[in-house]
Amino acid sequence: MKVIKKDGRTQKFDLDKIKTSIYRASDDAEQPLNESDIDNIAGDIETNIKDLKKDSVNSYVIQELVVDQLEKSGFNVLAKYYNLGNLE
């Protein structure tokens, strides 16, 4: 699957980039997550992306899916920090 970046470039989907972003947001929010939590959340996000059944996905869609999954998992503050970090 390809990701369409904000500037129009495309690149291969990389779940590790989502994990890294969640980890950084958890640090910024001062709500550290352990690796297992991040893996579980990222796995759910990956499933949601695959359920879209598309060859390419806009990065904005991925961002929304990440925020939604963080909120569903009870990490509302972390979701806010993740969203802020990806708007810069």
- Tens of pLDDT, residue by residue over 8-25, are 999 999 999 999 999 999
Q: Quick one: average pLDDT of 70-80? A: 94
pLDDT in tens, 21-42: 999 999 999 998 999 999 999 9
The predicted pLDDT at position 74 comes to 93
Q: How many domains does the chain have?
A: 1
The larger pLDDT score, comparing residue 86 to residue 34, is at 34
The predicted pLDDT at position 84 comes to 85
| 87 pLDDT more than 60 | no
Contacts of residue 26, Cβ cutoff 8 Å, sequence gap at least 6: 32, 33, 38, 78, 81
Q: Find the domain containing 28 and state its range.
A: 2-87
